[in-house]
Amino acid sequence: MPIPFITVCTVSRPLFSPLLVYFLFILFLLPHGHHGAQANYYKNKEINIGVIIDVNSRIGKEEQTAMEIAAQNEAPKGRSVSLHFLDSNRDPQQVASAAENLIKEKKLIAIIGMHSWQKTALVADVGNRTQVPVLSFASPAITSPTIQLRWPLLIRMANDGSAQVKCIEDIVRACNWGRVIVIYEEDAYGGDSGMSALLAEALQNIGVEIEYRLVLPSFSSVSNAKGLVQEELVKLENETLCRVFIVLQSSLTMVTNLFREAKKLRLVGGETESAWIIPDSITNMLDSVDKSIISSMNGTIGIKTQYSNHNKEYVKFEKRFRANRSEENSKPGIYALRAYDSIKIITRAIKSSSDDSSSLLKNILSDSFSGLSGEIRFEGKMLSQNPKFKIVKVDGEKNNELDIWTTDYNGGVKNKNTKEKAWPGLDKVPKGWAMPSKAKPMRIVVPAQAMFKEFVEDMNRTNSNGKIFHGFSIEVFHKVMEQLNYTDTLQYIFESKSGSYDDLVELVHNKNCDAVVGDITILSKRSKDVEFTQPYTESGLTMVVPAKSKESPWMFMKPFTREVWLVVAFILIYTMFIVWFLEHPSNPEFKGSLNDQIATAMWFAFCSLFFAHREKIYNHLTRVVIAVWLFLVFVLTASYTANLSSMLTIQSMEPSVTSMESLKSNNLTVGYDNGTFVGKYLVEVHNFSSTNIKAIDSVEKYIKEFESKGISAAFLEAPYAKVFLHKHCKGYIADTSHTATFRFGGFGFAFQKGSPFAREFSEGILRLSEKGDLKILENDLTPPNECSMNVSSDETRSLGLKSFWGLCLISFSTSTICFLLSLIHLIKNYQRYEEANRGSVTPSGGVWDKAARIAIYFYDKEMGLRRAQSSSEPSLVMIQS
């Protein structure tokens, strides 16, 4: 037989040509063969739909019940809906293979289900090959723009994780939690669908750090989940004080073990300061779980998908759902409602579909209706409506709704209790931090080698709170404790530690202690590692230098300002002129040659300053001028004497060094407090040479270094400089120009990052400042002493023109008025004189000629009328010419 076959195959070409043509025709139709066969599926009376869910889980059973009800209620008239279930609780590759076999065997028109994105992606690949639409309940945390290109038949009946992450972000921000712990259970591939990265980015935007990540393996991959969870929680409890837990994703079985073990460790419960946030995938199941599970979650904040449970369709569905379920808590959750709507979507779309999958897909995407789970509408092959979440709090064995969260409300929250409570409506916001107890008190470190004991001093005694310290910083701490009512409730213990202030801050950063209390300067570099309170005192860089006496050969000029001296000199000269003008016509002592007249007038004016003038006064107007002038002189003399005495009595001091530049240019050595940041600050910011900077260990050593010329200046922080000068005001002075220029954050207390005590202590410090208690403590820091009594805030000032301008104006006005009265009298006499001599001399000329004649007339009167009569005519003729 083989021989003939070979023969036929080799020689009978005409015989094989029709067979070859038929074979090529079959190959040509092969890509369309399945599609053509599938076309009949849409016309069959039986509509076959594949469902991939975990049929053994509580959610899967609820979904199965809901879909079966939907298949009965929503089947097109004259047709039936057959559901073919596949168990999703196995390897994703096996699920995809089983789905492909089911499509071929049962002639499926669509596949619904999959809560895992990995399984959804693999089944979507199967949908691409078989041209069967896939409706998934899963969606990646971040939607990639290539999803629609890679899986054109995939429809996501879910939103991505961004909305839920934004809701968690708003809760954390509203409660002022600075640090959180993220807990999630890995999926079968060891991932978290990108939710962790999405949450980290959202929290970073509001300045919240993830303190710890607790990653739990898949529940199905461990044999002793209870022991594993307990071990991890104990480890977490010992490594961090943060108590804000965000369960990002977890199965119900794993989260049940998590909360039961957390309750045993007192990490959860309404009486603790711990805060727990659970996602909608867990909260949505709480309506149908055992009450014992809910009781272990007491105080937990849950995010739950919002849907209406009051419309007629829901009530009807719930009644049938409960009838088909035997469990005690058989209320349908969001998963059951969404499963019902998924069947309804398919049956609505198939009514108007033609004969291919593209028509079914188009009808699904273009459909829009109000389902049990909410508004069903697709955009970009994903649910387009913005999700709406209920914020619930687990209270005992029930859930109390607090608020509604929606992205449509200005990207924030919609609160129905805003008039009564702050969002999210909690009666008491947990601190989210481990509260100190007698077993684990708050460990507070205090500087052991503080240079200025006025701020921190070790009393070398102990009590129930550890070592006893005294000083301004410690007093502020105790006052804040009283403000916060923590005196009897907050368990703490003081410990002294040696080292620099940076070392103490590093202890808090490394979590070797809980806080540092003392004269800790708030710096930008330090604030990156710890949480500082509000400063309780200001701080800046002050240069303290030896003082030198402020002596000058022109000290006698300093009682008055330059303006006063100039005005007094002007009034003196003006008064001298007025006295001469008024007296020389009738007073023989003011007659003589022009030089004699000037000398007499000047001598009279100068002697009047000391009330020693002897010249007799003839004119009454002159007496008025002199009276006012002498009163001005009396006031000026008394003021000058008093101010000069004050300047000579209180020694005026000035800095021996006036600027940083002079220190650097002269290569002088400066000192700073050992252990503080000032030394490094001088080198890095002010470019001092490290060889010219000396660390000083005590206040007494500062004095010795100054006296021995070991240092020329000391750079102290402003509070230290204030205390230093309060004790050593004689011989030292501060150049405060740098204090205003180079300012720091002030003194504050340092806590661990995210600690709520930093915020609470800041509020306490502000209350002390507003009530004035902080100012009282500052005054007690520098009580009155010899220095404060002898040193005035400002040196005696020169008296300015503002003190005397009134008297000067009166003197000038009086002299001017008397001058004008005398001038008027002179002009009248001259007119009479001119009328008497008009016959011999004809007056002519302008104003200046007339003024010249009046001046000549005034001058000639002192030489006698006889001489004036004998010489008046020629003089007048000369002027006219």
* Of residues 189 and 862, more confidently modeled: 189
Kindly report the CA angle at 106 between 100 and 108, in degrees rounded to 5? 70
Sheet strands (E) in 378-522? 388-395, 398-406, 413-414, 442-447, 457-463, 466-470, 492-497, 515-521
pLDDT at 651: 58
The answer to whether residues 298 and 394 touch, using CB atoms and an 8 Å cutoff, is yes
pLDDT tens sequence across 581-597: 777 676 677 666 667 77
pLDDT at 738: 61
CA distances from 797 to 550, 728, 806 (A): 13, 24, 20
CA distances from 124 to 34, 111, 129, 149, 342 (A): 18, 9, 9, 12, 16
675 in the Ramachandran plot: left (φ > 0), alpha (ψ -120 to 50) or beta?
left
* pLDDT at residue 193 tops 90: no
Average pLDDT over residues 499-511: 93
pLDDT at 2: 34
SS3 683: helix
Neighbours of 70 (CB within 10 A): 24
The answer to whether residues 482 and 706 touch, using CB atoms and an 8 Å cutoff, is no
Q: Which of 774, 786, 661 is nearest to 719 (CA)?
A: 774
pLDDT above 70 coverage of the chain, percent? 80
HSE-up (13 A, CA, CB side) for residue 804: 28
The answer to whether residues 436 and 484 touch, using CB atoms and an 8 Å cutoff, is no
* pLDDT at residue 127 tops 80: yes
pLDDT tens sequence across 523-571: 999 999 999 999 999 888 888 988 876 666 777 777 888 888 898 888 8
**Which residues, at least 6 apart from 536, have a Cβ–Cβ distance to it below 8 Å?**
473, 476, 746, 747, 748, 765, 768, 769, 774
Average pLDDT over residues 617-632: 80
Q: Which of 492, 143, 429, 443 is nearest to 301 (CA)?
A: 429
pLDDT at 43: 65
pLDDT tens sequence across 389-416: 889 988 876 778 888 888 765 444 444 4
pLDDT at 739: 58
pLDDT at 328: 61
* Of residues 219 and 765, more confidently modeled: 765
Rounded Cα gap, residues 744 and 759, in angstroms: 20
**Which residues, at least 6 apart from 762, have a Cβ–Cβ distance to it below 8 Å?**
533, 534
pLDDT at 420: 46
Sign of CA dihedral 761, 764, 770, 776: negative
Q: Judging by beta carbons within 10 Å of its beta carbon (0-12, 13-18, 19+), is residue 183 exposed, middle or buried?
A: buried
* Alpha-carbon dihedral angle through residues 583, 586, 588, 591, given to the nearest 10 degrees: 70
pLDDT at 801: 78
pLDDT at 17: 43
Q: Where are the alpha helices (DSSP H) in 708-772?
A: 718-727, 737-741, 756-771
* Of residues 708 and 220, more confidently modeled: 708
SS3 654: strand
Question: Mean pLDDT score of the chain, rounded to an integer?
Answer: 81
Name the percent of the chain in helix, strand, coil, to the closest 5. 50, 20, 35
**Which residues, at least 6 apart from 661, have a Cβ–Cβ distance to it below 8 Å?**
none
Neighbours of 572 (CB within 10 A): 19
pTM beyond cutoff 0.85: no
* Of residues 141 and 214, more confidently modeled: 214
Report strand pairing: 531-532 vs 732-735.
Answer: unpaired
* pLDDT at residue 878 tops 50: no
* Confidence category of residue 242, pLDDT binned at 50, 70, 90: very high
Give the DSSP H or E segment for 200. Answer: helix 195-205
Rounded Cα gap, residues 503 and 499, in angstroms: 6
pLDDT at 796: 62
| Chain Cα centroid distance, residue 402 | 28
Rg (alpha carbons) of the chain, rounded to whole number: 50
Neighbours of 1 (CB within 10 A): 5
SS3 330: coil
Report strand pairing: 388-395 vs 442-447.
Answer: unpaired
Rounded Cα gap, residues 753 and 327, in angstroms: 47
The answer to whether residues 284 and 304 touch, using CB atoms and an 8 Å cutoff, is yes
Q: Judging by beta carbons within 10 Å of its beta carbon (0-12, 13-18, 19+), is residue 474 exposed, middle or buried?
A: buried
Rounded Cα gap, residues 706 and 806, in angstroms: 50
SS3 340: helix
pLDDT tens sequence across 259-310: 999 999 999 876 788 999 999 888 888 877 777 788 888 889 999 888 888 8
The answer to whether residues 521 and 676 touch, using CB atoms and an 8 Å cutoff, is yes
CA distances from 298 to 271, 292, 392, 423 (A): 9, 11, 11, 19
Task: Find where tokens 């009454």 sit.
Answer: 620
pLDDT at 614: 63
* Of residues 32 and 241, more confidently modeled: 241
pLDDT tens sequence across 41-82: 666 788 899 999 988 888 888 899 999 999 999 888 888 899
* Of residues 852 and 472, more confidently modeled: 472
DSSP secondary structure code for residue 678 in this structure: H
Rounded Cα gap, residues 17 and 22, in angstroms: 9
HSE-up (13 A, CA, CB side) for residue 14: 0
pLDDT at 627: 83
134, β-bridge pairs: 111, 154
Rounded Cα gap, residues 334 and 373, in angstroms: 6
pLDDT at 870: 39
pLDDT at 766: 95
Lowest mean pLDDT among 233-242, 417-426, 533-542, 700-709: 417-426
Lowest mean pLDDT among 249-253, 425-429, 744-748: 425-429
Rounded Cα gap, residues 489 and 462, in angstroms: 19
* Confidence category of residue 417, pLDDT binned at 50, 70, 90: very low
pLDDT at 406: 83
Average pLDDT over residues 181-206: 80
Q: Where are the alpha helices (DSSP H) in 545-665?
A: 562-583, 594-608, 620-649, 660-665
CA distances from 746 to 497, 501, 518, 740, 743 (A): 21, 14, 12, 13, 8
* pLDDT at residue 632 tops 60: yes
pLDDT tens sequence across 834-855: 777 665 554 555 666 667 766 6
SS3 252: helix
The answer to whether residues 547 and 733 touch, using CB atoms and an 8 Å cutoff, is yes
* Of residues 613 and 624, more confidently modeled: 624
Give the DSSP H or E segment for 96. Answer: helix 92-106
* Confidence category of residue 331, pLDDT binned at 50, 70, 90: confident
pLDDT above 90 coverage of the chain, percent? 29
pLDDT at 410: 46
Rounded Cα gap, residues 37 and 24, in angstroms: 20
pLDDT at 615: 65
Rounded Cα gap, residues 340 and 67, in angstroms: 5
* Of residues 631 and 142, more confidently modeled: 631
| Chain Cα centroid distance, residue 25 | 75
SS3 427: coil
* pLDDT at residue 443 tops 90: yes
